[in-house]
Amino acid sequence: MAVALISIVIREDNMLHPMLSWRPIARVGEISYGIYLYHLIGLHIARVGLGVFGIVEANWVLLIVYSLISIMMAEISFRTLENWFLSYKKDGWGKVARA
């Protein structure tokens, strides 16, 4: 797995380039840290929500629902909170002028 990952990173013109450059997949890569942060909250929301409808045994439904919830939460977080912090990076916030 490590060798496969290294081969993807070293050269962009590989077999996976068309799939990895597809906009939805690339967007998941951009917000992946948010997905990492929010996936357990998404899992809890999905379990409770599916439990209300009596769907507790279908693990594949849980996987799809909680993945979508996690991506949605990460997207909202990226567009609001993370973009706000990233805007300071462009402004040079916190830099001290030389004397």
Query: pLDDT tens digits for 23-38?
Result: 999 999 899 999 999 9
Which range has highest mean pLDDT (41-45, 89-93, 94-98)? 41-45
pLDDT of residue 40: 96
Please give the average per-residue pLDDT across 55-81, as a whole number.
93
The closest of 31, 34, 43, 30 to 69, measured between CA atoms, is 43
Q: In sequence order, what are the residues at sequence separation of 6 or more whose Cβ sits closer than 8 angstroms to the Cβ of residue 38?
A: 70, 73, 74, 77
Statement: the pTM of the whole predicted model exceeds 0.85: no
pLDDT at 74 over 90: yes
